Amino acid sequence: MRIAIRVDASEKLGTGHFMRCLTLADALFARGATVTFLSAHMPDLLQGVAIKAGHGVLTWPDTAWTIPEAGSEWSIAGQDADADATLAHDDGGGWIVCDHYGLGRRWEQRIRAAGRRVLAIDDLGRGHDCDILLDQNFYADPSARYPGDAADSVLVGPKFALLKPAFAQARAACSPRKDLRRLHLCMGGADPKNTTAVMLDAIELAGLRALPTDIVIGALHPAGGAIAARCKSNPAWTLHVQTERMADLLAAADLAIGAGGTATRERCVLGVPTLAVEIETNQTTLLAEISRAGIVYGVQGKFDAARIAKHLAALVDNPALRAQISANAFAVTDGAGATRVANLMSGEAVRIREASLANSANLHAWRNAPSVRAVSRMTAPIELEAHERWLRQTLDAPDRWLLIGSRAGHDVGVVRFDLVAPTQVEVSIYTTADAAPGDGTPLLLAAEAWLRGHVHAAETIRAVVMAGNARSGGLFARAGYTAVSEAFEKKVRP
């Protein structure tokens, strides 16, 4: 499998886009894919990072290149020209990943017309025309974020966040924070406005200069020398430049100060309570959403060191608030998003269709398979007459949806959704003999995408796993489900 990733970066913007694409590239590489970064503008340092990780890099000179600020897509002519350049440098692989504010629906249509499949990574709520749309951000109502025709599969939420495996690994030893022994400060990979210096001033104004603090900056930071000198003057401050140990540093932190952008998800995986600030306009919506949900302590609008110091002091003086933010953040994502997305891309997409009476014989055979009955509520074989009666009732029910998933012309599984409350559905799922190992997750995710587009009342999905069915438990965990309770049973009579 050959994958191309279209992403740009400069000394001022785009490092976060590159890094999340690199994480996806690593996950695909681990599945045997060959990945090539395609770029019209990429600093040598980042090119070297991609090459060191085993990926290819192809660039082309574009004298008209401009920094693609959020909400400022390039012109139609510019997107057409870029699509043509991308296709000219692509080696004919099936997928092209695009993470770019300058490129949108027009670019995607041109790429798809050439026979490529497109995964678009976005966080602006724009219109798209792609195969998979990925928005890793938290939204109270993710179904309202993108129109129904934006993509064949829409993946919205932190459970799909493209984070390095180290974060999921470090999570195992983490728990919601209670004490305050160490700070963590990181304002992004580029930090062109040098907000790091402002935050250091705020830490001192809040009386926390002596608190051990890890300060992280990128190698391209515009004031790296001045920050390094400042850290040398304070033995409590430790500077890390372009570190590979971000997961370890966050795992050791009891409170973080950072931008309200992509790094938010890294802090959530490890349950770090965070004072987050808005440093770019594309962070406005995200920061507002996660602040209302109690996932971070958000500071929006203009800020200076004095304003941040007041908020920081308030947060330091309220351990109960820090503990609650930490617990809320820890519940948002498990850090396995890159695995989910890579699994979905690794094979032909699972297509979902509604079942009909014409599928009766196959549904009966699939449901009676010993492997399916063994993990079902009813383990005995189902008679054909009873099955047909049930199927007709199911297809006629207004609050039940029976779906069949197929890949490459083969039916790989069945998913049923039942409306069990005004805004909640219960899901049941099983795979067929034609399913390949690992097909369960893309089947479930494809069915969820169908649900978002067809059942607008559904806000949450509940899954009930039979005792001892570790395989199903793992499936739902990989798909981003969270265990909320356990059921206990006792026989009334021996």
| The predicted structure's pLDDT at residue 248 | 95
pLDDT band for position 89 (cuts 50, 70, 90): very high
Q: What are phi and psi of 352, to 5 degrees?
A: -110, 135
pLDDT at 404 over 90: yes
212 lies in the same domain as 285: yes
> What's the CA gap between 109 and 94, in Å, rounded?
15
186 lies in the same domain as 320: yes
79 lies in the same domain as 190: no
364, amino acid identity? H
Beta strand 297-299 pairing with 410-421: unpaired
> What's the CA gap between 306 and 378, in Å, rounded?
64
Last residue of a domain, one of 275, 295, 330: 330
Q: For residue 244, what are the domain limits?
A: 166-330
Tokens 């978002």 correspond to: 452
Residue 288, domain member (yes or no)? yes
pLDDT tens digit sequence for 292-339? 999 999 998 888 999 999 999 999 999 999 999 999 999 888 888 898
Instruction: Taking residues 402-408, report their average pLDDT.
Output: 90
| The predicted structure's pLDDT at residue 439 | 76
Residue 161, domain member (yes or no)? no
Tally of structural domains, the chain: 3
Reported as type and span, the H/E element at residue 306 is helix 305-316
DSSP 207: T
> What's the CA gap between 494 and 151, in Å, rounded?
54
CATH number at residue 272: 3.40.50.2000
> What's the CA gap between 46 and 48, in Å, rounded?
5
218 lies in the same domain as 324: yes
Asked if 470 contacts 429 with a C-beta cutoff of 8 angstroms, the reply is no
Tokens 């519940």 correspond to: 331
Last residue of a domain, one of 330, 358, 379: 330
Last residue of a domain, one of 301, 330, 359: 330
CATH number at residue 145: 3.40.50.11190
Instruction: Taking residues 387-408, report their average pLDDT.
Output: 94
Strand partners, 98: 6, 120
Tokens 């022994």 correspond to: 181
DSSP 361: H
Of 242, 250, 213, 251, the closest CA to residue 230 belongs to 213
Asked if 332 contacts 157 with a C-beta cutoff of 8 angstroms, the reply is no
User: What is the pTM (predicted TM-score) of this model?
Assistant: 0.67
Asked if 403 contacts 425 with a C-beta cutoff of 8 angstroms, the reply is no
221 lies in the same domain as 239: yes
255 lies in the same domain as 308: yes
188 lies in the same domain as 74: no
| The predicted structure's pLDDT at residue 159 | 86
pLDDT band for position 469 (cuts 50, 70, 90): low
pLDDT tens digit sequence for 130-187? 988 999 988 888 877 887 667 777 888 888 999 999 999 999 888 889 899 999 999 9
Non-local (6+) Cβ contacts of 452 within 8 A are 142, 143, 148, 154, 458
Residue 342, domain member (yes or no)? no
- φ/ψ region of 125 (left if φ > 0, alpha if ψ in -120 to 50, else beta) reads left
Residue 282, domain member (yes or no)? yes
Inter-CA distances, 434 with 66, 209, 402, 431, Å: 49, 62, 19, 8
H-state helical runs in 57-122: 76-89, 105-113
Residue 492, domain member (yes or no)? no
312 lies in the same domain as 355: no
Residue 173, domain member (yes or no)? yes
Residue 7: alpha-carbon gap to chain centroid:
17
> In the Cβ-directed half-sphere of 310, how many Cα atoms lie within 13 Å?
5
Tokens linked to 452 = 């978002």
| The predicted structure's pLDDT at residue 326 | 95
pLDDT tens digit sequence for 228-284? 999 999 999 999 998 989 999 999 999 999 988 778 899 999 999 999 998 877 788
435 lies in the same domain as 467: yes
377 lies in the same domain as 464: yes
Residue 305, domain member (yes or no)? yes
Tokens linked to 250 = 């966050």
Residue 39, domain member (yes or no)? yes
Tokens linked to 232 = 């040398």
319 lies in the same domain as 367: no
CATH number at residue 388: 3.40.630.30
151 lies in the same domain as 188: no
| The predicted structure's pLDDT at residue 487 | 56
Buried/exposed code over 252-272 (b: 16+ C-beta within 10 A; e: otherwise): bbbbbbbbbbbbbbbbbbbbb
Inter-CA distances, 337 with 155, 254, 343, Å: 10, 24, 10
